[in-house]
């Protein structure tokens, strides 16, 4: 997931919806051509402010939800970063999500996305500063969203920045890196919280 902490449903979208829908369709088409082993899909309803990587029956999928795709504060750079992050869950090496060994952990997905954006090897380029500023504006605008893991103590997560947006933004701006075999600390911190919701976030069927 792009945002591990907040989750919510965005209400009415302002602006030229048709023009934005066309731009989003073109962006998803670009990613489908660049990474043909992954299926990129727009999920308009529910209007969740998020994106998601998952594997279903052996098919790698990235879902971009309408609340993120059409949010008035989200620009193209932010959408490219979101899609690169979700792609990183599928293609990055290193530590895996504790509840799904088929997907790279949140930190490794960020690192992979950053490497792709700065190298341009996949044809995906973005202004990272603009992308992070756009996402930061969304967090401030949607500050009343409930936090799914609000009871998790961040100090227990060691080097993982995925549950703290400010920490994550600083890490991305400073190009902080982790060893690929560092092990994901989300398991000890979050598995008890998600065990009763197995399959809701990223799920896999053999």
In a domain, 179, yes or no: yes
pTM: 0.78
In a domain, 10, yes or no: no
CA dist., res. 65 & res. 47, Å (int): 6
Q: What is the pLDDT of residue 173?
A: 82
Q: What is the pLDDT of residue 171?
A: 80
In a domain, 3, yes or no: no
In a domain, 48, yes or no: yes
Return all residues near 47 (Cβ < 8 A) that are at least 6 apart: 9, 10, 11, 13, 65, 66, 67, 70
Residue 197: which pLDDT band, with cuts at 50, 70 and 90?
Answer: very low
Given a contact cutoff of 8 angstroms between Cβ atoms, the answer to whether 25 and 45 are in contact is no
Percent of the chain with pLDDT over 70: 67
In a domain, 138, yes or no: yes
Residue 32: which pLDDT band, with cuts at 50, 70 and 90?
Answer: very high
In a domain, 49, yes or no: yes
Q: Is 80 helix (H, G, I), strand (E, B) or coil?
A: helix
In a domain, 202, yes or no: no
Tens-place pLDDT, residues 119-159: 877 788 889 999 999 998 988 877 654 444 444 444 444 55
Q: What is the pLDDT of residue 157?
A: 46
In the chain, the number of structural domains is 1
Give the residue from 40, 47, 120, 124 showing the smallest Cα distance to 81: 124
Tens-place pLDDT, residues 52-109: 999 999 999 999 999 999 999 999 999 999 999 999 999 998 888 888 899 998 888 9
Tell me the residue range of the domain where 109 lies: 17-197
Whether cis (ω within 30° of 0) applies to the bond prior to 170 is no
In a domain, 6, yes or no: no
Buried b (16+ CB within 10 A) or exposed e, 106-126: bbbbbbbbbbbbeeeeeebeb
């Amino acid at each position: 997931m792009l945002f591990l902490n907040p989750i919510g449903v965005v209400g009415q979208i302002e602006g030229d919806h048709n023009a934005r829908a066309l731009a989003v369709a073109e962006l998803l088409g670009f990613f489908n051509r660049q990474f043909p082993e992954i299926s990129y899909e727009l999920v308009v309803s529910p209007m969740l402010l998020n994106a998601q990587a998952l594997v279903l029956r052996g098919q790698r999928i990235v879902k971009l939800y309408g609340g993120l795709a059409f949010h008035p504060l989200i620009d193209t750079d932010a959408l490219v970063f979101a899609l690169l992050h979700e792609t990183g869950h599928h293609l990055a090496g290193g530590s895996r999500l504790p509840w799904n060994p088929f997907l790279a952990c949140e930190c490794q997905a960020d690192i992979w996305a950053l490497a792709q954006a700065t190298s341009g090897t996949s044809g995906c380029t973005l202004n990272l500063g603009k992308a992070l500023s756009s996402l930061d504006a969304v967090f401030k605008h949607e500050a009343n969203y409930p936090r799914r893991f609000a009871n998790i103590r961040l100090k227990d997560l060691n080097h993982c920045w995925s549950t703290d947006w400010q920490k994550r933004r600083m890490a991305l701006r400073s190009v902080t890196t982790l060893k690929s075999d560092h092990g994901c600390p989300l398991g000890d911190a979050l598995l008890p919280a998600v065990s009763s919701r197995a399959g809701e976030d990223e799920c896999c069927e053999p």
